[in-house]
Every structure is written in C-alpha cells, then in structure tokens.
Amino acid sequence: MTVIEALVVAALLGAALYVLLGRRAGQPQLPEWSVVTHTREDGTLVVALRGPEGGERVVRELPPGLTGHELTSELRLAREEAADQAAELNRGPA
C-alpha cells in the first residue's frame, strides 16, 4: 500500500468517526439520577439521589456522632449504595 493510499484511508476513517460522534453528541441527553451528599443543620450527613425533576430520595442518613474510620466507611458504603441505585434508575424500565 502506498503512502497516498494510507493517507486516504486514514482521512476516510477520520471523517466517518467525526460524523458518527457528531451525530451522537447532537442528540439530546435525558436527565439522569445523581448521588448528592449534604449536611443538615443538626449535623446529620445525608446521602441521597437527585432525580431528573430535581426531587431527592434519601438513601441513608449518618448521625453527627460518627468520627474517623466509622464515618469514612459508612459514608463510602452509603455512596456506593446510592450509586448502584442511581445506575439502576438511569437504565430505565426493562
């Protein structure tokens, strides 16, 4: 294969990728569920899911008395659980 043929093939592949990715990026994205964490006035740490319409579903509330390793592990577990639920909700109905 000559250099010119290789350049033509590369240009065609690049153009095809540009068209495919451009069309995909142009499609409207549906809002998704996301994981949010915030602290209430009493110090309770809340891990929740925020929906496409803006509403929240509380996954877990962590009491203000947790410190150090307890807080870290409980928060990590709560966020993992919330992320799993968000992924399931984002997949939509089967």
**47 three-state secondary structure:** strand
Same domain, 70 and 84: yes
Q: How far apart are the first and last CA of the chain?
A: 48
Same domain, 54 and 38: yes
Same domain, 22 and 55: no
Compute the average pLDDT of residues 70-75. Answer: 92
CA proximity to 56, closest of 71, 73, 40: 40
72: tokens are 């870290």
State pTM to two decimals: 0.64
85: tokens are 């639920």
Same domain, 39 and 79: yes
pLDDT digits (tens, 9 = 90+) for 30-56: 668 999 999 999 999 999 999 988 889
Same domain, 51 and 78: yes
Per DSSP bridges, beta strands 45-50 and 34-39 are: antiparallel
What is the domain extent for residue 4?
A: 1-29
Same domain, 38 and 63: yes
Same domain, 39 and 7: no
33: tokens are 């569920």
Average pLDDT taken over every residue of the chain: 85
pLDDT digits (tens, 9 = 90+) for 51-67: 988 889 999 999 998 88
